[in-house]
Amino acid sequence: MTPMFEAAAEKLRAAYVEGAIAPLRDILEPTDTDGAYAVQDINTQRWIADGRRLIGRKIGLTAEAVQKQLGVDQPDFGALFSDMRIVDGGVLKRSSVLQPKAEAEVAIVLGKDIEDPSVDADGILSATSHAIAAIEIVDSRIADWKITFADTVADNGSSAFFVLGSSEVPIEDLDLYSCGMVLEVNGQIASIGAGAACLGHPLNAAAWLARTLIARGEPLRAGDILMTGALGPMVALKPGDKVRAVIGGLGECSFEFEGDSE
Protein backbone atom coordinates (compact mmCIF):
# COMPACT_ATOMS: atom_id res chain seq x y z
CA MET A 1 0.00 0.00 0.00
CA THR A 2 1.42 3.39 -0.94
CA PRO A 3 2.31 5.91 1.75
CA MET A 4 -0.07 8.40 0.14
CA PHE A 5 -3.03 6.05 0.58
CA GLU A 6 -2.00 5.42 4.19
CA ALA A 7 -1.86 9.18 4.73
CA ALA A 8 -5.33 9.67 3.24
CA ALA A 9 -6.75 6.91 5.44
CA GLU A 10 -5.19 8.49 8.52
CA LYS A 11 -6.67 11.90 7.63
CA LEU A 12 -10.13 10.40 7.32
CA ARG A 13 -9.88 8.55 10.63
CA ALA A 14 -8.77 11.72 12.38
CA ALA A 15 -11.67 13.68 10.87
CA TYR A 16 -14.18 11.65 12.91
CA VAL A 17 -12.76 13.34 16.01
CA GLU A 18 -11.13 16.53 14.81
CA GLY A 19 -13.64 17.66 12.18
CA ALA A 20 -14.07 17.64 8.41
CA ILE A 21 -11.08 17.87 6.11
CA ALA A 22 -10.47 19.27 2.64
CA PRO A 23 -11.21 17.03 -0.36
CA LEU A 24 -8.48 14.49 -1.10
CA ARG A 25 -7.58 16.03 -4.48
CA ASP A 26 -3.85 15.96 -3.74
CA ILE A 27 -3.97 12.17 -3.33
CA LEU A 28 -6.91 10.85 -5.36
CA GLU A 29 -8.14 11.85 -8.79
CA PRO A 30 -11.94 12.32 -8.73
CA THR A 31 -12.65 9.01 -10.50
CA ASP A 32 -9.76 6.93 -9.09
CA THR A 33 -11.85 3.91 -8.12
CA ASP A 34 -8.97 1.59 -7.26
CA GLY A 35 -7.15 4.15 -5.17
CA ALA A 36 -10.30 5.16 -3.30
CA TYR A 37 -11.17 1.58 -2.38
CA ALA A 38 -7.56 1.02 -1.34
CA VAL A 39 -7.96 3.87 1.17
CA GLN A 40 -11.30 2.51 2.33
CA ASP A 41 -9.79 -0.96 2.79
CA ILE A 42 -6.97 0.42 4.96
CA ASN A 43 -9.49 1.90 7.38
CA THR A 44 -11.82 -1.11 7.27
CA GLN A 45 -8.98 -3.42 8.27
CA ARG A 46 -7.75 -0.95 10.89
CA TRP A 47 -11.20 -0.77 12.50
CA ILE A 48 -11.58 -4.55 12.48
CA ALA A 49 -8.17 -4.86 14.13
CA ASP A 50 -9.36 -2.35 16.73
CA GLY A 51 -12.29 -4.63 17.58
CA ARG A 52 -15.17 -3.30 15.50
CA ARG A 53 -17.43 -6.04 14.08
CA LEU A 54 -18.24 -6.03 10.37
CA ILE A 55 -21.92 -6.98 9.88
CA GLY A 56 -22.67 -6.02 6.28
CA ARG A 57 -22.37 -3.40 3.59
CA LYS A 58 -24.06 -0.23 2.43
CA ILE A 59 -24.62 0.69 -1.22
CA GLY A 60 -24.55 4.28 -2.38
CA LEU A 61 -24.90 6.29 -5.59
CA THR A 62 -27.81 4.15 -6.79
CA ALA A 63 -29.53 7.11 -8.44
CA GLU A 64 -28.50 7.78 -12.04
CA ALA A 65 -28.70 11.55 -11.52
CA VAL A 66 -26.19 11.41 -8.67
CA GLN A 67 -23.85 9.17 -10.69
CA LYS A 68 -23.88 11.73 -13.51
CA GLN A 69 -23.20 14.51 -11.04
CA LEU A 70 -20.05 12.75 -9.84
CA GLY A 71 -18.99 11.59 -13.30
CA VAL A 72 -19.31 7.83 -12.72
CA ASP A 73 -21.40 5.01 -14.13
CA GLN A 74 -21.63 2.73 -11.12
CA PRO A 75 -22.71 2.73 -7.47
CA ASP A 76 -20.29 2.50 -4.58
CA PHE A 77 -20.20 0.63 -1.28
CA GLY A 78 -18.94 0.93 2.27
CA ALA A 79 -18.66 -1.24 5.35
CA LEU A 80 -21.34 -1.57 8.04
CA PHE A 81 -20.15 -2.13 11.59
CA SER A 82 -22.26 -3.23 14.54
CA ASP A 83 -21.62 0.03 16.42
CA MET A 84 -23.21 2.00 13.55
CA ARG A 85 -26.69 0.67 14.35
CA ILE A 86 -29.16 2.85 16.24
CA VAL A 87 -32.14 1.07 17.77
CA ASP A 88 -35.52 1.79 16.22
CA GLY A 89 -36.87 4.88 17.95
CA GLY A 90 -33.46 5.67 19.40
CA VAL A 91 -31.31 8.78 19.53
CA LEU A 92 -28.46 9.90 17.27
CA LYS A 93 -26.03 11.96 19.32
CA ARG A 94 -24.87 15.25 17.82
CA SER A 95 -21.33 14.59 19.00
CA SER A 96 -21.08 11.47 16.82
CA VAL A 97 -21.64 13.18 13.45
CA LEU A 98 -20.36 16.19 11.53
CA GLN A 99 -22.86 17.10 8.78
CA PRO A 100 -25.50 14.35 8.79
CA LYS A 101 -28.25 13.63 6.31
CA ALA A 102 -30.95 10.94 6.35
CA GLU A 103 -32.35 8.76 3.60
CA ALA A 104 -34.90 5.94 3.60
CA GLU A 105 -33.89 2.56 2.22
CA VAL A 106 -34.78 -1.10 1.95
CA ALA A 107 -32.42 -3.27 3.99
CA ILE A 108 -32.14 -6.99 3.36
CA VAL A 109 -30.62 -9.72 5.50
CA LEU A 110 -29.07 -12.68 3.73
CA GLY A 111 -30.05 -16.21 4.64
CA LYS A 112 -27.38 -17.83 2.47
CA ASP A 113 -23.83 -17.13 1.30
CA ILE A 114 -23.55 -15.66 -2.20
CA GLU A 115 -20.61 -16.98 -4.23
CA ASP A 116 -21.91 -16.92 -7.84
CA PRO A 117 -19.86 -14.27 -9.70
CA SER A 118 -22.73 -13.68 -12.12
CA VAL A 119 -25.51 -13.51 -9.52
CA ASP A 120 -28.52 -11.44 -10.56
CA ALA A 121 -31.58 -10.06 -8.76
CA ASP A 122 -33.26 -13.48 -8.79
CA GLY A 123 -30.19 -14.98 -7.13
CA ILE A 124 -30.31 -12.31 -4.44
CA LEU A 125 -34.01 -13.04 -3.93
CA SER A 126 -33.35 -16.72 -3.33
CA ALA A 127 -30.49 -15.95 -0.92
CA THR A 128 -32.38 -13.36 1.15
CA SER A 129 -33.98 -14.18 4.48
CA HIS A 130 -36.07 -11.03 4.92
CA ALA A 131 -36.32 -7.30 4.26
CA ILE A 132 -36.63 -4.42 6.71
CA ALA A 133 -37.55 -0.73 6.49
CA ALA A 134 -34.40 1.27 7.14
CA ILE A 135 -32.96 4.75 7.48
CA GLU A 136 -29.34 5.45 6.71
CA ILE A 137 -27.72 8.45 8.32
CA VAL A 138 -24.98 9.48 5.93
CA ASP A 139 -22.20 11.87 6.86
CA SER A 140 -19.07 13.17 5.21
CA ARG A 141 -15.66 13.72 6.67
CA ILE A 142 -15.07 16.01 3.67
CA ALA A 143 -15.89 19.66 4.42
CA ASP A 144 -19.20 21.01 3.09
CA TRP A 145 -19.94 17.72 1.27
CA LYS A 146 -17.69 18.87 -1.59
CA ILE A 147 -17.08 15.31 -2.64
CA THR A 148 -16.00 13.50 -5.76
CA PHE A 149 -16.59 9.80 -6.35
CA ALA A 150 -13.12 9.05 -4.96
CA ASP A 151 -13.76 11.14 -1.84
CA THR A 152 -16.97 9.33 -0.91
CA VAL A 153 -15.56 5.86 -1.62
CA ALA A 154 -12.43 6.51 0.43
CA ASP A 155 -14.66 7.87 3.21
CA ASN A 156 -16.41 4.49 3.60
CA GLY A 157 -19.21 5.50 1.26
CA SER A 158 -19.97 8.61 3.37
CA SER A 159 -21.45 6.28 5.97
CA ALA A 160 -22.31 7.03 9.58
CA PHE A 161 -25.23 5.19 11.21
CA PHE A 162 -28.37 3.25 10.34
CA VAL A 163 -31.73 2.31 11.82
CA LEU A 164 -33.66 -0.88 11.11
CA GLY A 165 -37.37 -1.28 11.70
CA SER A 166 -38.87 -3.93 13.95
CA SER A 167 -40.76 -5.83 11.21
CA GLU A 168 -38.79 -8.52 9.38
CA VAL A 169 -40.84 -9.29 6.25
CA PRO A 170 -40.28 -12.37 4.07
CA ILE A 171 -38.98 -10.94 0.81
CA GLU A 172 -41.16 -13.11 -1.42
CA ASP A 173 -44.21 -11.33 0.05
CA LEU A 174 -43.02 -7.92 -1.16
CA ASP A 175 -43.16 -5.77 -4.27
CA LEU A 176 -39.91 -3.88 -3.85
CA TYR A 177 -40.17 -2.36 -7.34
CA SER A 178 -43.30 -0.26 -6.83
CA CYS A 179 -43.30 0.08 -3.04
CA GLY A 180 -43.67 3.70 -1.99
CA MET A 181 -41.51 5.53 0.52
CA VAL A 182 -42.24 8.56 2.68
CA LEU A 183 -39.59 10.15 4.88
CA GLU A 184 -40.97 12.52 7.50
CA VAL A 185 -39.08 15.05 9.58
CA ASN A 186 -40.98 16.42 12.58
CA GLY A 187 -44.22 15.04 11.16
CA GLN A 188 -43.80 16.79 7.79
CA ILE A 189 -43.08 15.03 4.50
CA ALA A 190 -39.45 15.70 3.61
CA SER A 191 -38.75 13.10 0.89
CA ILE A 192 -40.76 10.65 -1.18
CA GLY A 193 -39.73 7.88 -3.52
CA ALA A 194 -40.17 4.27 -4.58
CA GLY A 195 -38.25 1.03 -4.90
CA ALA A 196 -37.66 1.59 -8.61
CA ALA A 197 -35.53 4.66 -7.76
CA CYS A 198 -32.79 2.33 -6.48
CA LEU A 199 -31.04 1.10 -9.68
CA GLY A 200 -34.45 0.11 -11.02
CA HIS A 201 -34.99 -2.30 -8.09
CA PRO A 202 -33.27 -2.69 -4.69
CA LEU A 203 -32.28 -6.25 -5.58
CA ASN A 204 -30.44 -4.96 -8.65
CA ALA A 205 -28.30 -2.89 -6.31
CA ALA A 206 -27.69 -5.89 -4.05
CA ALA A 207 -26.71 -8.04 -7.06
CA TRP A 208 -24.23 -5.39 -8.22
CA LEU A 209 -22.69 -5.38 -4.74
CA ALA A 210 -22.48 -9.17 -4.56
CA ARG A 211 -20.75 -9.42 -7.96
CA THR A 212 -18.36 -6.60 -7.09
CA LEU A 213 -17.36 -8.13 -3.77
CA ILE A 214 -16.92 -11.61 -5.24
CA ALA A 215 -14.56 -10.13 -7.83
CA ARG A 216 -12.59 -8.67 -4.91
CA GLY A 217 -12.48 -12.03 -3.11
CA GLU A 218 -14.91 -10.87 -0.41
CA PRO A 219 -18.20 -12.75 -0.98
CA LEU A 220 -21.28 -11.86 1.04
CA ARG A 221 -22.24 -14.30 3.78
CA ALA A 222 -25.43 -15.47 5.47
CA GLY A 223 -26.45 -12.98 8.13
CA ASP A 224 -24.99 -9.97 6.34
CA ILE A 225 -27.11 -6.81 6.41
CA LEU A 226 -27.27 -4.93 3.11
CA MET A 227 -28.45 -1.33 2.93
CA THR A 228 -29.51 -1.26 -0.72
CA GLY A 229 -29.58 2.48 -1.41
CA ALA A 230 -31.83 5.51 -1.14
CA LEU A 231 -35.40 5.43 -2.44
CA GLY A 232 -35.61 9.22 -2.57
CA PRO A 233 -33.64 12.41 -1.90
CA MET A 234 -31.63 12.63 1.31
CA VAL A 235 -32.52 15.25 3.90
CA ALA A 236 -30.11 17.35 5.98
CA LEU A 237 -30.63 17.06 9.74
CA LYS A 238 -30.90 19.70 12.46
CA PRO A 239 -30.62 19.07 16.22
CA GLY A 240 -34.02 18.14 17.62
CA ASP A 241 -35.30 16.59 14.38
CA LYS A 242 -37.52 13.54 14.70
CA VAL A 243 -37.18 11.36 11.59
CA ARG A 244 -39.56 8.61 10.49
CA ALA A 245 -39.53 6.45 7.35
CA VAL A 246 -42.52 4.49 6.08
CA ILE A 247 -42.06 1.98 3.24
CA GLY A 248 -44.94 0.14 1.61
CA GLY A 249 -45.13 -3.47 2.78
CA LEU A 250 -42.25 -3.06 5.22
CA GLY A 251 -43.64 -0.74 7.85
CA GLU A 252 -41.63 2.00 9.48
CA CYS A 253 -38.61 2.98 11.55
CA SER A 254 -37.54 6.17 13.28
CA PHE A 255 -34.93 8.01 15.32
CA GLU A 256 -34.38 11.40 16.93
CA PHE A 257 -31.38 13.64 16.33
CA GLU A 258 -30.22 14.89 19.72
CA GLY A 259 -31.47 18.41 20.47
CA ASP A 260 -29.80 21.34 22.21
CA SER A 261 -31.23 20.58 25.65
CA GLU A 262 -30.30 16.88 25.66
pLDDT(262) > 60: no
pLDDT(65) > 70: no
Cβ 35 vs Cβ 1: under 8 Å: no
- For residues 231 and 246, what is the distance between their CA atoms, to the nearest angstrom? 11
Give the per-residue pLDDT at 69: 63
DSSP 21: B
The whole-model pTM stands at: 0.95
Overall average pLDDT of the 210-237 stretch: 96
Q: Does domain 3-257 have CATH number 3.90.850.10?
A: yes
Identity at 106, one-letter amino acid code = V
To 10 degrees, what angle do helices 33-49 and 3-18 make?
60
> Which of 25-29, 67-71, 98-102 shows the lowest per-residue confidence on average (mean pLDDT)?
67-71
pLDDT(170) > 60: yes
Give the per-residue pLDDT at 67: 74
Report which of 43, 45, 37, 48 is spatially closest to residue 10, judged by C-alpha positions. Answer: 43
> Which of 58-72, 101-115, 167-181 shows the lowest per-residue confidence on average (mean pLDDT)?
58-72
Digit-coded pLDDT (tens) for 100-133? 999 999 999 999 999 999 999 999 999 999 999 9
Give the per-residue pLDDT at 90: 98
Which position has the higher pLDDT, 65 or 138?
Answer: 138
DSSP codes of every residue in 154-222: HTGGG--EEEE-S--B-GGG--TTT-EEEEEETTEEEEEEEGGGTTTSHHHHHHHHHHHHHHTT----T
Which position has the higher pLDDT, 84 or 172?
Answer: 84
pLDDT(45) > 70: yes
pLDDT(211) > 80: yes
User: Hey, how many other C-beta atoms are within 10 angstroms of the C-beta on 51?
Assistant: 7
Give the per-residue pLDDT at 173: 81
Give the per-residue pLDDT at 194: 95
Gap between the terminal Cα atoms of the chain: 43
pLDDT(66) > 90: no
Overall average pLDDT of the 192-198 stretch: 94
Report which of 244, 246, 247, 232 is spatially closest to residue 257, judged by C-alpha positions. Answer: 244
- For residues 136 and 103, what is the distance between their CA atoms, to the nearest angstrom? 5
